[in-house]
Amino acid sequence: MNTKMVYSKLQQIISDILEIDTGKINAETRNEDMAEWDSLKHVQIIDAVEREFNIKFDLLEIVDFESVADIAEAIENSTNEI
Amino acid sequence: MEDISKQIIANLTEYYKNFKGSSEVDFIKTENLYFTKFSDKSGFSIALNKNDNITNFIKTVNEIEQFKIKFNHSVYWILSEGQTKKNIENLRSKRFMPVKKWTNMHAELKEQIKIPKIKNLNIKKISSNADLKIWLKTHQETEKYSNFNLKTISALSNKKYISFYLGKIKDIPVATSLSLEHNSYVGLYLITVKKEFRKLGIGSAITLHPMADAQKTGINNFVLHSSKAGEKLYLKIGFKNYDKMYIFTQNSDS
């Protein structure tokens, strides 16, 4: 899966869970800058990402994801390992 | 070192007891957990001993589940890094996910604390309602998830063991902190500096000011829990990393 596809799917997941337009989400989007992206939504996003990409993140790294780019990078690292 | 772990937990619990539900707080101690129930329908559980292996994980999770059902509360579970690492697979299988990570830090400072002088910065311990309102506004502007209101903090400002501090640069409020004394340890909380005023040393000053005040009363031990971003600052002013804590929530969606 290429980077563009990863971002596209990620944008859709985040947009669905936060109920915001996909246009508001890009690689630089940081959870701390979005009122909608609270800790419980963060958990839902991670859960949805794991199911969509059929991966399991390292449980301890989840809490360090601060931006869309961080999640995308972890997805790519996980899918490359398969 | 075990004493410090207990102090960190005790101070943290005291802090939440005051800030979450004010007078309506219950503490329930079971074999495996220390559960704190707040009147705002939330609660948290702390696995008791930081070196505890949580010998029966399922039993412990069931206890949390019972609290949730019995009190209709959402529950956060706080585990040390060691407990978390030992139970990764168990946590996964029960759909627990971490929402926050704190570094618990401790400082024992016996030498007189010196507060850095920063041009135009004036820090004072709050004593009026007008200043308390400014403190709250400053905190809310800086903290995304602030859920404090004037009623809560007004009630707390009368407590002798809690002090609010406000930092201003030329009358512009720029920083907040709060200290809470419990069992001869002072915990430092809600340390915030407005984004545009960061990297000027204000964070150190607003942290050290309540510490210096506490020191005048004979207290030399300080605890706090830091985010990743704040750790460097606290190390610089004499804190040491004690351990890490992960805050978990159970994801019920499937």
In what side-by-side order are the strands of the sheet with B121-125? B25-29, B33-38, B42-47, B74-80, B240-250, B96-108, B221-226, B185-193, B172-182, B162-169, B121-125
What tens digit of pLDDT does each residue of A11-20 get?
A: 999 999 999 9
What tens digit of pLDDT does each residue of A41-54 get?
A: 888 899 999 999 99
Q: Across the interface, which of B91, B144, B246 has its CB nearest the CB of A63? A: B246
Give the DSSP letter of residue B229: T
- The mean pLDDT of B250-254, rounded to a whole number, is 64
B92: contact with A, CB 8 A cutoff: yes
User: What's residue B49's pLDDT?
Assistant: 47
Task: State yes or no: pLDDT of B221 exceeds 50.
Answer: yes
More confident residue, B143 or A44: A44
Which residues on chain B are in Cβ contact (under 8 Å) with A32? 144
Subunit contact B98:A44, Cβ cutoff 8 A: no
Cβ atoms within 10 Å, residue A80: 8
More confident residue, B23 or B205: B205
- d(CA A68, CA A34) in angstroms, rounded, equals 12
More confident residue, B17 or B161: B161
Q: Across the interface, which of B92, B98, B145 has its CB nearest the CB of A63? A: B98
Looking from the CA of B65 toward its CB, the CA atoms found within 13 Å total 11
* Phi, psi for B63 (deg, rounded to 5): -65, -40
Q: What is the mean pLDDT of chain B?
A: 83
More confident residue, A79 or B241: B241
- Measure B207 CA to nearest chain A CA, in Å: 23
Which structure tokens are listed for B37? 């129930």
- The mean pLDDT of B79-107, rounded to a whole number, is 87
Alpha helices in chain A (DSSP H): 3-18, 39-53, 68-81
Task: State yes or no: pLDDT of A79 exceeds 50.
Answer: yes
- d(CA B186, CA A48) in angstroms, rounded, equals 41
User: What's residue A82's pLDDT?
Assistant: 47
Q: Name the closest residue on chain B to residue A62, using Cα atoms.
A: B98
Task: State yes or no: pLDDT of B99 exceeds 90.
Answer: no
- d(CA B99, CA A38) in angstroms, rounded, equals 9
Q: Name the closest residue on chain A to residue B95, using Cα atoms.
A: A47
Q: Enter the ipTM.
A: 0.77
Of A13, A12, A6, the residue nearest A45 (C-alpha): A13
pTM here is 0.79
Residue A8: band (very low, low, confident or very high) from pLDDT cuts 50, 70, 90: very high
- d(CA B148, CA B157) in angstroms, rounded, equals 13
B232: contact with A, CB 8 A cutoff: no
Lowest mean pLDDT among A40-44, B19-23, B86-90, B214-218: B19-23
- The mean pLDDT of B215-220, rounded to a whole number, is 95
User: What's residue B39's pLDDT?
Assistant: 63
- The mean pLDDT of A63-72, rounded to a whole number, is 92
Which structure tokens are listed for B137? 């506004």
What tens digit of pLDDT does each residue of B38-78 get?
A: 666 566 666 554 455 566 777 778 888 887 787 777 778 88
User: What's residue B231's pLDDT?
Assistant: 93
User: What's residue B53's pLDDT?
Assistant: 59
Give the residue from A17, A39, A65 with the most B CB atoms within 10 Å of its CB, the best one to mutate.
Answer: A39
- Which residues from A are below 8 Å from B when comparing CB atoms? 32, 35, 38-40, 42-44, 46-47, 56, 59-60, 62-64
Give the DSSP letter of residue A67: B
Subunit contact B249:A43, Cβ cutoff 8 A: yes
DSSP-assigned states of every residue in B133-154: HHHHHHHHHH-TT----HHHHH
More confident residue, B103 or B74: B103
Contact B250, B90 (CB under 8 A): no
Residue A6, CA distances (Å) to A59, A72, B221 in order: 20, 7, 48
* Phi, psi for B89 (deg, rounded to 5): -65, -40
* Phi, psi for B124 (deg, rounded to 5): -140, 150
User: What's residue B50's pLDDT?
Assistant: 46
Q: Across the interface, which of A35, A38, A62 has its CB nearest the CB of B98? A: A62
Residue B176: band (very low, low, confident or very high) from pLDDT cuts 50, 70, 90: very high
